[in-house]
Amino acid sequence: MDPVPALDEPLKKVLGPATAKVMAEHLGLHTVGDLLHHYPRRYEERGQLTHLADLPMDEHVTVVAQVADARLHTFASSRAPRGKGQRLEVTITDGSGRLQLVFFGAGVHKPHKELLPGTRAMFAGKVSVFNRRLQLAHPAYELLRGDAEETVETWAGALIPIYPATAKLESWKIGKALQTVLPSAQEAADPLPGPLREGRGLVTLPEALLKIHRPHTKADIEEARARLKWDEAFVLQVALARRRHADAQLPAVPRRPRPDGILAAFDGRLPFTLTEGQRKVSEEIFADLATDHPMHRLLQGEVGSGKTMVALRAMLAVVDAGGQAAMLAPTEVLAQQHHRSVTEMMGDLAQGGMLGGADDATKVVLLTGSMGAAARRQALLDLATGEAGIVIGTHALIEDKVQFHDLGLVVVDEQHRFGVEQRDALRGKGKQPPHLLVMTATPIPRTVAMTVFGDLETSVLDQLPAGRSPIASHVVPAADKPHFLARAWERVREEVEKGHQAYVVCPRIGDEEDGAKAKKKSPEDEAEKRPPLAVLDTADQLARGPLAGLRVDVLHGRMPPDDKDAVMRRFAAGEVDVLVATTVIEVGVNVPNATAMVIMDADRFGVSQLHQLRGRVGRGSAPGLCLLVTEMPEASPARQRLNAVASTLDGFELSRIDLEQRREGDVLGQAQSGTRSSLRMLAVIDDEEVIAEAREEAARIVASDPDLERLPALRTALDALLDEEREQYLEKG
């Protein structure tokens, strides 16, 4: 039997079962290769201490600091009623700030002996607040003693790698484990083709791994990072280039609209002119639809930029060419909304086979999971016979029973809410692969689009249609200035008095079983983290308090679908003044008369989500107003995030801010396959140049050698990147 390659060796054989178990369960590291690619987050110089002033709340941190002061206190408690309880308080400093460490009970003896003033050590623990001061309770620590043979200079100048760690495994223990496996780095197969590596002056992979874990100088770290970033960008771009290459080989039916067909009839009736952007993007789509391999296009458009109009014209072009188009929406509320707006826009062109239908008309059917049996049977029949040219639905469209006569185009709305399997199942319903148009209202910076959606061509709609109104956004600091919140409710009343309507958005519904799952928390935790405001409680308080006399209704995801639809219809018809809702209204809900939105606990939402929610107002001719209510203090990162949202309506700018504040892993993991991001070194915002260059190199290599027969090490790296789940993701696109 062949020996296992050194990098595939399971960690439990090398490090022992207990450490390996923690690494597997908490860090997702299973083999020697996994551990070698677990890179330091940063480096500490023993002589240059980390900034205690910048510690993040509620995170596990590792700090290098010096003990300034240590005091042992005794106190009475339920366990030690005679004043025998002991608490050790140690103050550490790094010149930028001070931090308190606390140890209790029997845990005080060892640190009391070891943590004497003047001692340097590494401390690891979770940052919490007690009596308004930052502290680490019971931190793990490692004393930094210079070995006898080390001079003071080399000891103080040494670079200590600080690894992403967990409460169960501190950074220095990970460092010791790496010391054990580092010799295996010599056997790492290099995925970069030699000429490419030499042409760009990059070090070899074994050298990069040694330098990233055991750097002697800062230049070592830079060299290693430059090389490892290239690996990540290049291997991912090769995977995407192979996907594009394979797609280009697939056959598809070209779909060209007839000059006197339903699209021409529809365009002839439009009561407004398309924006320049809508025309340009439509032309790109029509050119793709006319080719004999499947279109794979991502349509990004700001909230309210008219993506639905562009998608509808693409669907009508396919109907003209004798095919059918399916639009997949993430929720029933949204599917019903799309169905309503499409049939309204098309008028009698949507009444195929009915009395009063236009000559060129087709049928537009809705298919959702909660439809009655008779309506569902009719919809399925219309699809199978080809009577319905357009179907709009939820994942009910994917079920086995659904048969199409000739599926030519799949439009997926709000990409990030759909699993890959669902898109794939729908595409499998065509006789040949249908064309695919993916729409998203979450603007994606170019680098992310290249990295995540690199197998899709991208079109961007960045103009708002004429007649759309600007949205003014303001942060309402409810804790610092309670009268601002009172004024917010007055503004809602004023909008309603002018004949308009308003949304109030809350983070949760409020009929959850409170307390059943709640863990015991310390009093300061309680203050920091009260439960997010709920729709049902808020609606009740508003109807009895500041909005008394107005017609207030609620909408949330756990309501039966018919009830949801009924509430949305009443709101759209102007029979409800204020709709208190969860984020079910986030995408696609279109009520032009709604001009104001109050978002409660706005700090609990992400930047993109706030931008999406805000896009629900100002959809008519009256200006929109969005009020972001928060209790977070002014200096907090949450407030800075809200200030950013209030300061710009540019979704691309906001998506950059969002990405800089979150780790890329969240973005890539979610958009790719939900697995941990493969990007450990590459920062998709900062490394735009590397990604763009890697994309070009990858396209060149795949064009000349699609199966990578001449590059076995690159194939191996691809297999490692594309574990099964990711492989399926790219296969299914």
Nearest one of 5, 590, 564, 679 to 331, comparing CA atoms: 564
pLDDT tens readout for residues 84-122: 788 899 999 887 788 999 998 888 889 999 999 988 888
Whole-number pLDDT of residue 729: 45
Based on the number of CB atoms within 10 Å of its own CB, is 83 exposed (0-12), middle (13-18) or buried (19 or more)? Answer: exposed
Q: Is the pLDDT of residue 342 over 50?
A: yes
Report the pLDDT averaged over residues 435-458.
77
- Residue 504 — very low, low, confident or very high, per pLDDT cuts 50/70/90? very high
Whole-number pLDDT of residue 630: 93
- Residue 672 — very low, low, confident or very high, per pLDDT cuts 50/70/90? very low
Q: Is the pLDDT of residue 349 over 60?
A: yes
For 485, residues 6+ apart whose C-beta sits below 8 A from its C-beta are 476, 478, 629
CB 682 within 8 A of CB 235: no
- Residue 523 — very low, low, confident or very high, per pLDDT cuts 50/70/90? very low
- Residue 336 — very low, low, confident or very high, per pLDDT cuts 50/70/90? confident
pLDDT tens readout for residues 292-314: 999 989 888 876 678 889 999 99
Q: Is the pLDDT of residue 2 over 70?
A: no
Query: Which secondary-structure segment (H or E) carries 313?
Result: helix 307-320
CB 628 within 8 A of CB 640: no
DSSP assignment string, 319-347: HHTT-EEEEE-SSHHHHHHHHHHHHHHHG
Alpha-carbon dihedral angle through residues 165, 168, 169, 171, given to the nearest 10 degrees? 40
Q: In this predicted structure, which of 294-308, 419-433, 478-492, 689-703 has the lowest mean pLDDT?
A: 419-433
| Interatomic CA distance for residues 313 and 402, integer angstroms | 24
Report the pLDDT averaged over residues 51-56.
72
pLDDT tens readout for residues 170-216: 887 888 899 889 998 898 888 899 899 999 999 999 999 999 999 98
Q: Is the pLDDT of residue 639 over 50?
A: yes
Q: Is the pLDDT of residue 255 over 60?
A: yes
Based on the number of CB atoms within 10 Å of its own CB, is 9 exposed (0-12), middle (13-18) or buried (19 or more)? Answer: middle
Our CA angle for 508, 512, 514, nearest 5°, is 110
pTM: 0.66
pLDDT tens readout for residues 375-385: 999 999 999 99
Q: In this predicted structure, which of 13-22, 311-320, 350-359, 365-374 has the lowest mean pLDDT?
A: 350-359
Whole-number pLDDT of residue 521: 44
- Residue 428 — very low, low, confident or very high, per pLDDT cuts 50/70/90? confident
Whole-number pLDDT of residue 723: 57
Q: In this predicted structure, which of 139-148, 199-208, 354-363, 722-731 has the lowest mean pLDDT?
A: 722-731
- Residue 481 — very low, low, confident or very high, per pLDDT cuts 50/70/90? confident
Q: Is the pLDDT of residue 545 over 50?
A: yes
What is the chain's mean pLDDT, rounded? 82
CB 707 within 8 A of CB 65: no
Whole-number pLDDT of residue 395: 81
Give phi and psi for 524, each to the nearest 5: -70, -30
| 3-state SS record for 627-657 | EEEECCCCCCHHHHHHHHHHHCCCHHHHHHH
- Residue 522 — very low, low, confident or very high, per pLDDT cuts 50/70/90? very low
> For residue 2, what are the CA distances in angstroms to 13, 485, 569?
17, 70, 67
> For residue 394, what are the CA distances in angstroms to 237, 387, 579?
32, 20, 24
| Interatomic CA distance for residues 392 and 333, integer angstroms | 12
Q: In this predicted structure, which of 340-354, 587-601, 670-684 has the lowest mean pLDDT?
A: 670-684
